[in-house]
Structure formats: C-alpha cells, structure tokens
Structure 1
Amino acid sequence: MSRKGEQFAGLTVALVTPFKDGKVDEAALKKSVDFQIEAGTDVVSPVGTTGESPTLTHDEHERVIAIVCEHAAGRIKVMAGTGSNSTSECVRLTKYAKKSGATGALIVGPYYNKPTQEGFYQHFQAVAEACDLPIVLYNIPGRTAKNIEPETICRIAELPTVVAIKESTGLMDQASQVLSGSNLTLLSGDDSLTLPLMSLGGSGVVSVVGNIIPKDVKAMIAAWNKGDIKTAQAAHHKLFPLCRDLLGLSTNPIPIKAAMTALGRDAGPVRLPLTPLSESEMQKLRKSLTNHGLL
C-alpha cells in the first residue's frame, strides 16, 4: 500500500532547544542541526515536546523555527512543531512554518481543553484549509489528556495535507487500526517502540535518543528495511536500556539534556517548571551512557 507522507519516513530527531543565560542559545541550536546533517538524519523536528515548546514565548517559538529552517537551508527536512490548544494560534504557527521554509508541520492534538472527537477533526480541518503545508498528526494522550481515537484519525487522514502521524499512545492495537484504516505514514513517538511499530507497518521514528546517537537509530531502521531482522533486533536490544533511561528516569527532555551536557554538547538547562536530574538519577544516567560506550 502506497502511503502519504513517505517524505517523513526514516529517522526524525526531535531537537532539544538549548538555553543559555535564560535565552535560546542560537549558536548551539545551529550546531545541533549540523550534527544531525552530518549523521545522515532524515528530518529534524524543532519545538516539539523535546524542544520544551510549552515554556517558549510565541516569539521564541517562531525564532527557533526560523533558525532551524534557515540553517538547514535545504540540507535536511524540517518538521516544525506548530501545535496549540488554540486553533487560531495553531494556524498562525503553521503559516509561519511554511513561510520559514519548513517541509512539514508536527501538530499535537489540542491539549488541556479536552476536545470532543468532532472538535479534534474540526481543529485539523481548519488548519489544513488555512495552510497547505503537509501535516504530521501527533497523538500523545499522556500529555494532552485526551486520545484522538483511531476512527477520528482515519477521518482526519482524508484531509489531503494530512500525511503522517507520530504515534505516542504506546498502544499497538491503536497503531494497527490507524495503519489498516488509513494511508498515513506512521512514525513511532517512543524510541523503545520503533522496531515493534515498524513490524506492524510503521515507517520510522521521531526520536529523542537520536539527539546523541542518530547513527545507531538510523542503522536499526536501515537493517529492518533491508529485511535483516536479526541485525535490527540486536540494534533494538542494544538501544533499549538507553532509551528506557532517557525516557524513564524523569520527564522528557530532562534526561536527554543531561546526557547531552555529560557528552560535551551545548544543551543548557531545562526551564521551569522542569527541574534537573537528582544526583542519584544522574549516576544512573552516566552508567547507562557508559554501558552504551558513550562515556
């Protein structure tokens, strides 16, 4: 089955937003884009969950999109986070991403206000009608407080510009329903579930761990796509402990920012209300990085 959104297949890295002296560290952000280009990453995704979008001002949010698009300069695709719990704000951000040169928009289900399923549909319909930038749905009910049900996703998928979904429910049955009921390209929103979802027909991942080991993640995806199941499984099991710690020690992106700092990358601190890892958590993280051969 041919799927919409194949341009977003493979490895997308959800970029952290580096901070310095309370502001976005623009130089470090550009270095992160270069790091991903050199690693062969397919797509970068700024200002998503990992990019701490909830604590960015509107001006900062737009500035991060602009910097990433400008610095990418066509060398790598950009899936800009433009979601909001306000439909009009989502439209504005999506139009801005298109104007900045983004390849697509990653749009999370509206959070906090808990729309009905009809509300979800009308939200995405309004954005799609206002701007023709390709849309990647982002369903993460653990953060938004409301699941976009598979039937609704398949309905939204009929909108021409909705081409893919970042699946972050952790539910294999939901992913199967979306894959069998639509022609969306499905991307894992959890690093530890990339290979399981690809076995169902998924096409890659929007990765957090890819901020530090993009080549490892890309190699696992490539092995699966070549039909080398044993190599892909071995890669999965090597990645799993690190994925578990980077997503399980504390709220994302606290651990990945700590890992980047430990590895000499300019990630800077997290913004309140997020707080740094405790000393015991940091020891566990260092052990995980050492076991993976990174320290």
Structure 2
Amino acid sequence: MFSGSIPALVTPFRDGVFDERAFRRLVDWQIANGSAALVPCGTTGENSTLSNAEHHRVIEVCIEQAAGRVPVIAGCGSNDTMNAMLHMTFSKKCGAAAALLVAPYYNRPSQAGLLAHFSYLAEHVDLPIVLYNVPARTVTDIQPETVIELARRFPGKIIGIKDASGDLSRVTDHRMGIGADFCQLSGDDELALPFNAAGGVGCISVTANVAPQLCAEFQAACAANDLQKARELNDRLYPLHYAMFEDASPGPVKYALSRVLEGMTDELRLPLVACNQTARQAVDAALVHAGVL
C-alpha cells in the first residue's frame, strides 16, 4: 500500500505556536521532491508535546495541503488506547490513508496487552493500521509473533509496520510469516539499504525531511534493484543519517531544515531544546557531504 521515501515530518513552531504557513511550505516541498507519502505527528513531529487539538490540526493541515497528491499516514499512537482511537477517528474523517500506531509507551504492556490494544483499534475504527515498533523509545517490543498474529487476525486492516527495532532478521520473519503483501518500512535511515534487500519497500524517514530528493532517488534505486546507484546515494546520505541523531531528535533535523528551507526555524518544545554546537557542526558537514548545501 505504501513504498518509497516517506518523511516523518517535523512540526514547525514559531513563538511557541504551530506554524501552519511553514508546515504547508514543507508539505509542498516534500511532494515536489518525490516523497511518496507523508507522516504528520510521529516522533519527529514532537507529538508528545502537542495537545489533542494541536495534534488534530497538524494532521488536518497535512491532508488539506497534500490535497490527494500523496497519501497521508497520520500519527495516531498513544499509550492510552482510547486516545489512540480518538486520533484515528479524527484522521479517518479528515481523509488519512492510514494510521501509524506506535507500541504503547511507559505502560509496558505484555504481548497479550499489545494484541488487545491493536485488536481493539482495528475492530473499532475503519482505517488501515501501520504498526510502529521502536523499543528504544517505548521499552515495549512488538515481537514478530505478535505482528504475525495481528496481520492474521486483521487481513487488509493491519497492513504494515514501521520497524525501528534495529533487528534486520525481522524483515524476513515478517515476510515469511505474513507474506510479501505486508508493507515493511524501515524506521532507521541508516539501515534502509539492507532492510530493503531483505524485503522492505521503503522508509519512514527522518533524513527525508532535509534531503527529500536524494532519499526518493535512493528508494527508487532500491526498487529498481540498481544496487550500484543505491549504494552511491546511500554513501552520500549516510553521514546525514547519523547527524540527525547527534543530539536529541528532532533538534538536529530542525536545525538542518532551518539551513535548507526558507521560513523554517529550529524551535522545539520543552523538554527538548535546540541542538548543541557539536551537533550543528556535524549537520553542516553532512549537508555539504550530501550536496544539499
């Protein structure tokens, strides 16, 4: 259902308020440079610092500005099942193509709890679900057996996964346990090349915020099995992938965007603060290496 380069969009702020004008410019720039879909209100979008009203407005603006040119996968995750359902219901009404649902964080549910959480949402809201597994942030790890069981219970409803577990063997686990139609998207830019080689079809990317055209070209090379070109593009992007996490994310990516896209600021919401000087130097060097600056 989804493939290619899919940016996990930042949420621009100006003087503490969601900057709709800058966000609309970002959406247009992403689409013009080949991004295949858009993800508002993910981790990179600082969703944990948004009120529900702000969260919904970001999704609404993204869908409105995309205007059907590319699909929007709305970030709907929460550690509260009912709040996740609220986000999904709103996103469905706005025209989202799917919901991105992170494993509930802080609560530390068991695998049985994860099955119950995602099953409840699949049963109560008619919106395709892309699971999001990022145990480094959530502590909870959606095990392959749980992913396979969810896909078996809800064919055509739980349609894919953004996998940021760092375990490349899971691509094969999921493919062999579910089938090739299950949409596997890398959640780690630096692993996108081997992830795709194992059966992935794209990446929900931080780096694509800053280098959308290069990321789109890289994914297209992977899809065409042009390994030489994919390697060359990956080498250009590789330092940038790591620079995006030189300090607490999304500090570095917001700084990078302030360097490459007019009207963007590096403003974040507490408890996050602007990235440090070491990170800025790493970002600047990586932007030059990639040919973005």
TM range (shorter): over 0.9
Residue 40 of structure 2: aligned partner: 46
Q: Is residue 258 of structure 1 aligned with residue 276 of structure 2?
A: no
Task: Report sequence identity in percent.
Answer: 40
SS of 2:89 mapped into structure 1:
helix
Superimposed CA distance per residue, residues 64-114 of structure 1 (whole angstroms, 9 cap, x where no aligned partner): 011111111111110000000000111111010000111110000111000
Q: Is residue 213 of structure 1 aligned with residue 211 of structure 2?
A: yes
Q: Is residue 283 of structure 1 aligned with residue 277 of structure 2?
A: no
- 1:65 equivalent among 59, 64, 70: 59
Shift of residue 267, structure 1, vs aligned partner: 3.8
Contact kept, 8 Å, 1:83 with 1:109, in 2: the verdict is yes
Q: How does 1:1-295 map to 2 (within 5 A)?
A: 7-158=1-152, 159-160=154-155, 161-183=157-179, 184-247=182-245, 249-265=246-262, 266-295=264-293
What is the rounded CA distance, in whole Å, between the counterparts of 1:246 and 1:283 in structure 2?
Answer: 11
SS of 1:187 mapped into structure 2:
strand
Contact kept, 8 Å, 2:171 with 2:199, in 1: the verdict is no
Superimposed CA distance per residue, residues 105-150 of structure 1 (whole angstroms, 9 cap, x where no aligned partner): 0000111000010110110111011111111000000000110111
Contact kept, 8 Å, 1:83 with 1:108, in 2: the verdict is yes
**What 5-or-longer segments of structure 1 have no aligned partner?**
1-6
SS of 2:72 mapped into structure 1:
strand
What is the rounded CA distance, in whole Å, between the counterparts of 1:173 and 1:267 in structure 2?
Answer: 38
TM-score by length of 2: 0.95
What is the rounded CA distance, in whole Å, between the counterparts of 1:153 and 1:51 in structure 2?
Answer: 25
What is the rounded CA distance, in whole Å, between the counterparts of 2:224 and 2:70 in structure 1?
Answer: 23
SS of 1:32 mapped into structure 2:
helix
Q: CA RMSD in A?
A: 1.1
Contact kept, 8 Å, 1:47 with 1:53, in 2: the verdict is yes
Shift of residue 58, structure 1, vs aligned partner: 0.9
Q: Tell me which amino acid in the other structure corresponds to 2:50.
A: L
Contact kept, 8 Å, 1:188 with 1:204, in 2: the verdict is yes
Shift of residue 221, structure 1, vs aligned partner: 1.4
Q: Tell me which amino acid in the other structure corresponds to 1:178.
A: H
Contact kept, 8 Å, 2:248 with 2:275, in 1: the verdict is no
Query: How many pairs were matched up?
Result: 288
TM-score by length of 1: 0.95
